[in-house]
Chains A and B, each alone.
Chain A
Amino acid sequence: GESVGLHLPTLSVQEGDNSIINCAYSNSASDYFIWYKQESGKGPQFIIDIRSNMDKRQGQRVTVLLNKTVKHLSLQIAATQPGDSAVYFCAENIGEAAGNKLTFGGGTRVLVKP
């Protein structure tokens, strides 16, 4: 398959365990955050988003946590499955002053061991 990053940090997790993927964002004025999943040979796929007026948001098997004090975002995947193997990106909207565009992190590769 195609590689989206040759030197990405990698998280190896046993099937059935919970995964936690971390992201440090850059701008305290950022007000909107998104997590994406990118499988080999595909484009990034939206997983979940969160606005800065929230600390936590849950989806199906995923939870996003936002800590604005330390500018940290995390994605928790419950009961990780082989299909969760992918590269995960966070993205932040760095605000109106910067044109309200999304800026993407470098990504973390998740490998699920059977």
Chain B
Amino acid sequence: DVKVTQSSRYLVKRTGEKVFLECVQDMDHENMFWYRQDPGLGLRLIYFSYDVKMKEKGDIPEGYSVSREKKERFSLILESASTNQTSMYLCASSQIRGGNSPLHFGNGTRLTVT
């Protein structure tokens, strides 16, 4: 079974703090993704990566950056957290480049920015 592990289940940060959300997958998948999930808005893609040191913007990249220094690890960075970034953050990985393979998700990090 694919395992996608997000380092924190819950985080509380203050406005203006720099926040790191970490994600590790153990199946040697090429592709990794960060989504946020908000009531009424569903899952929205923030950033994704098809290879080490490679990143591409998703639909809502503003206020975020990412880092992929190793194949198994994909980090989401909030340079200066704001209250509108309070959300559930979901990391995912997939085996095949492009959309024709299922994403495997972690259990999410619920971030609250006060």
Q: Which residues of A contact B43 (CB under 8 A)?
A: 44, 89, 104
Whether the pair B37, A4 counts as a contact (CB closer than 8 A) is yes
Report yes or no: A2 in contact with B42, Cβ–Cβ below 8 A: no
How many interface residues does A have (CB within 8 Å)? Answer: 32
A-binding segment of B60-68, B73-81, B106-114: B106-114
C-alpha gap A5/B39 in the complex (Å): 4
Secondary structure of the A side of the interface? loop
A-B contact count, CB below 8 Å? 65
B48 touches A101 (CB 8 A): yes
B42:A89 contact, CB within 8 angstroms: yes
Query: Which partner residue on chain A sits nearest B97 by CB separation?
Result: A100
Q: Kindly list chain B residues whose C-beta atoms are within 8 Å of the C-beta of A105.
A: 42
Verify A41–B107 contact, CB threshold 8 A: yes
Within 8 A of B (CB), among A2-53: 2-7, 31-32, 34, 36, 41-46, 49, 51
Residues of B within 8 A of A (CB): 4, 37, 39-40, 42-43, 45, 48, 56, 58, 88, 90, 92, 97-100, 102-108, 110
CB<8 Å pairs between A and B, sample of 26 = A4-B37, A5-B39, A7-B39, A7-B40, A32-B99, A43-B90, A43-B92, A43-B105, A43-B106, A44-B90, A44-B103, A45-B105, A46-B102, A46-B104, A49-B102, A51-B100, A89-B43, A93-B98, A93-B99, A93-B100, A96-B98, A99-B56, A102-B99, A102-B103, A106-B42, A107-B42
